Structure 1
């Protein structure tokens, strides 16, 4: 959320004060459109604007109270616009001819669209450096009582669709840490055969609070721990515990979403980590829901393309544009309830020690 950063910069960088009426501020899509159009268009789509902490996401406009709180004048901010449509034309000198800009969205919102989560209740999880789960809530602005976030999913024709979001700080970065700093593996794909080489985690649990814990715990000062080590533990158990931590953290989010009235009937996953089939099956087992994984996992780019297609008139709706998603694979829960309870009890014990 960039509102505090903008406010800080305005107070502490003299050159911004000197710019006066020539100053323009925005998030990355605002900057790109501004530069691509030769400075003619200064807009932010509603999904990105909702991630500044400066927008009243219920009304779709900048919030005067928040602007005053952070010390950001309305005059320097972009106009809030739809996520698709005739958003601007590129400067002809850049590419030899003007090109229409017809779609833009925030990172996770674009992934939600790319996963065709177009109906309320449909949920996607992106496992990249961190993990980000969004449940589409339609035109209903969600209000969480369980430490989740409400966000604009997209805006079309002036109508906003919303989502409930939970963020995990450490996902793929945990595997990078095992590789680059501990030297436990040579390459990230090595974790899958290691996990399959042992029957279970051997009582080893890894709580990956390497940069604190995100939703639903929100404990920035929490520190990571590997719990349950004995002389019987091998690096395969640690690697497996690292992969299992993805399912454990996601289960914590599922519990919070369900408590907010947004339980998951299924989960659609994407991101670099889902190339690990063992991890995706473990997600299905621990969450006890079917997990759907598309062949094309770069769903953020796909969602942006779907919006652009709608904005250019190639498709009449996002539902029609969803044909771009392609084939998907499905992972069905195969773990019995007793084994699931044992796993989750071990996680709760390890997590409690970190939180305690």
Structure 2
């Protein structure tokens, strides 16, 4: 019996395909960068055709590494969420640029809907807030502004990235999983949880354009045999942050993970009952097995690893992202320097798309080491703000499990433990997003009877960071952060 799993991990800046053994051991990977397009202030786009071509090339490499399609039990897919693709059902080609989750072009639309008093109903039904981050307003904007979408008529299909990839891989299956659907602001996440007519009408999105919603461990179809020399089942799908939470085995209420990638995303499992937030956190579907759903509360920070990339590429302060750790260690403290990283606005718990980044506390004594340290400290401060919001909603964190590329920074991991006054655990295999998708696919393929069993069998060892900061120092640093943040919030 074929027991290897291939995972397509579709990120914001790269496409990667990984090969896993049934016990979660990574066996290989292939990766291609994805170009970012910035056609104007606040606009972020991708070329969906480029994503498909890179995905196909990487996946073919891993099928070959496995020894052929016959040796692969299933494909799992995990993806950047909220990014939306528009394509032609007849030609399978994109009809417009993909609008990326970071894009802010619908800020005015969302503000108008909020001013009209719609946010309470949107949050009650979808679990989300009125913010350009989510897919619904992006789709409505595109339908109003891109004539080629109207001209396509019944040929037009719309979906998030995993929907687009499944369509291309299978030759026409138009589905999305419940986790990605729950990030559109078009889905009622409780009850039967299908597309909601009221939400679709609010954003101007005809339901006929949208894919069918499926479970996360459902076999949604098989790949076109011509692609990989044989058909392979697609048996596990989840948005990247849900997949990372699953990969960290955070499936029981209160278990919490934070992924530090382009942005930072913290999810805490809340069980079979959706929890309503009074502190501007998001309610989302964590996973759906069959018809059974597990929910989570989520706090989203828009700028994390992208801040370090900006220091490197935009300001030239770093030669490489990894240099930030050495610079942070080179100074005894932040020297009074604070960086509020609102380069794409502020996410939870503030939700201020209009906010601008600020670097404060500079003097002639300040060096690039202080700026680099302030950038890393900002991750701990933002996590602290979110921990307070989660606790106020009745979901306090017993510990925090971290992952993502930025989590490899030991200094930052320790600073998180210090500022949160909490044990921080980092898996020795930090690619939890891909591992979570592998767990889903292994469950869908029948290698494991359920996701909990798969998580127990496939999750590896971890490194723990324990608090070592004096309470007075913690209080002083947090006071400095709150002062810097207040200037940004106005």
TM-score bin (small chain): over 0.9
What secondary structure, in the 3-state scheme, does the structure 1 residue paired with 2:364 have? coil
* Mapping of residues 1-356 of structure 1, within 5 Å: 1-39=134-172, 41-59=173-191, 60-322=193-455, 323-356=457-490
Q: Which moved more, 1:235-244 or 1:253-262?
A: 235-244
Secondary structure of 1:209 counterpart = coil
Q: 208-217 vs 259-268, which deviates more?
A: 208-217
Q: Distance in 1 between the 2:278 and 2:400 partners?
A: 22
CA RMSD of aligned residues (A): 1.4
Distance 2:333 2:143 in 1: 54
C-alpha displacement of 1:224: 1.9
**1:84 match: secondary structure:** coil
With 262-271 and 6-15 compared, the bigger mean Cα shift is at 6-15
CA distance in 2, matches of 1:130, 1:86: 30
Aligned partners of 1:58, 1:295: CA distance in 2, in Å?
Answer: 36
TM-fit CA distance, 1:174: 1.4
What secondary structure is seen at the aligned counterpart in 2 of 1:278? Answer: helix
TM-score (norm 1): 0.96
1:208-263 per-residue CA deviation (whole Å, 9 max, x = no partner) reads 12222111111222222222222222222221111111101110111111111111
Q: Hey, what's the Cα distance between the residues in 1 that align with 2:205 and 2:352?
A: 29
Gaps of 5+ in 1: none
TM-score (norm 2): 0.70
Q: For this pair of structures, how many residues does the alignment match?
A: 355
For the residue of structure 1 that corresponds to 2:154, the secondary structure is helix
What are structure 2's unaligned runs of at least 5 residues? 1-133
Cα distance change on mapping 1:100 and 1:347 into 2, 3 Å: same
TM-aligned CA distance change 1:202 to 1:14, over 3 Å? closer
Q: Could you tell me how far apart the structure 2 residues matched to 1:87 and 1:289 are? A: 40
Partner SS, residue 6 of structure 1: helix
Runs of 4+ in 1 over 6 A off after TM superposition: none
Could you tell me how far 1:20 is from its partner in structure 2?
Answer: 3.2
